[in-house]
Structure 1
Amino acid sequence: MAREKNLPFETTLLVRDCCLCLHMQRAARNLARIFDEVLRPLDLTNGQFSLLMSLNRPEPPTMKDVASLLAMDRTTLTAALKPLERRDLVVIEPDPEDKRSRLLSLTPAGHRLLAQAFPLWQQTHEAIEKPFAPGEVDTLRAQLRALS
């Protein structure tokens, strides 16, 4: 049987230096750690903050709409909602117009926690953006939206 040839190490270096997915994952993990640390005193993760913020709407969204916004499948969203529901931050109710669908809304406690968390998010976001030249962060956001 012929021995398979291994990829050369130079290929590993090429992927390390060029892979958009790798660089996005690293940046996302770093940003997640920063925001997790800032939100920890409120017993929130960055993902929970994003989820709560996605529910801050005039009308309760459906699970489908929130899952789409957060690029999650509904099973993952359901799992993410459970601890927030246990903390009385979120309510999940049947949609009166479609009993198969669920509507998500913040409770008064969820609104209060989100109001506490937002200034922390805002200050941290400003600090992260500060080293960038004017317009660079807006360009980055546009490029990330194009990839998502």
Structure 2
Amino acid sequence: MSTMQDKSQREDDGYDFTRQVGHLLRRVHQRYVAIFQNHISDPQLTAVQFTTLCALRDRGPSAQRDLVDYTAVDQATIRGIVARLKARGLVELGPDPEDGRKVIVMLTSAGAELLDQVIPAARGITELAYGELNPAERVALDYLLRKMLAS
């Protein structure tokens, strides 16, 4: 089939990938990550590292498996994130007091201090990510995203 015929067939089938939810979600995520990196007050901190630090602050010392569940980040990625945060002195590793075979990740005082410093910027990043959505649209977006995740 020629290129012109391929294009004609695509136009006829009515499928426009740019209008598909997966494509739109990916683009929104890319936009969010760019906003985060451009506005976070610590340029070495990634959005996923920030999420991991927040999970440790909120949940307390955690096994890496638990961090996977809390953050929805895969096991291999969380291992790398923990290693980078540890190298910066933001987390430390230690034995689980209930099961000495397990290693837990703990937020250090430096990690807690960094969170205190960057959370105001993170709030601003959320505002920038919402863009021109009005308050009702923001609530609707949050509701719909959570509903999609629950199904």
> Shorter-chain TM-score category?
0.7 to 0.9
Matches of 2:73 and 2:128 in 1, distance apart? 28
Q: What is the match of residue 64 of structure 1?
A: 65
Q: Helix, strand or coil: the match of 1:99?
A: coil
1:143 aligns with 2:119: no
Q: 1:20 to 1:141 in 2, by over 3 A?
A: same
Q: How much does 1:100 deviate?
A: 4.0
Map 1:38-57 to 2 at 5 A: 38-39=39-40, 41-57=42-58
Label 1:128 to 1:6 Cα distance change in 2 as closer, same or farther (>3 A).
Answer: closer
Aligned residues: 145
Match of 1:16 among 18, 30, 36: 18
Q: For residues 1-148 of structure 1, what are the structure 2 equivalents within 5 Å?
A: 8-10=9-11, 11=13, 14-17=16-19, 19-39=20-40, 41-57=42-58, 59-129=60-130, 131-148=132-149
Q: Which runs of 5+ in 2 are unaligned?
A: none
User: Contact 1:90–1:110 (CA<8 Å) still a contact in 2?
Assistant: yes
Q: Deviations over 1:13-72 (max 9, x none)?
A: 52222x111110000010110011112644211121111111113631222221112212
- Give 4+ residue runs of structure 1 displaced > 6 Å after superposition: none
Change (3 A) 1:74 1:94: farther
TM-score by length of 1: 0.83
Tell me how large the CA RMSD over aligned residues is.
Answer: 2.5
Give yes or no for contact 2:62–2:105 (8 Å, CA) kept in 1.
yes
TM-score (norm 2): 0.82
Structure 1, gaps ≥5 residues long: none
What is the CA–CA distance in structure 1 between the aligned matches of 2:127 and 2:18, rounded to whole Å? 29
Q: Distance in 2 between matches of 1:132 and 1:94?
A: 46
- Which structure has more helix as a fraction of its residues? 2
Secondary structure at the residue paired with 1:92?
strand
The amino acid of 1:96's aligned partner reads P
| Residue identity (%) | 27
Alpha-carbon distance between aligned partners in 2 of 1:12 and 1:48, rounded to the nearest angstrom: 40
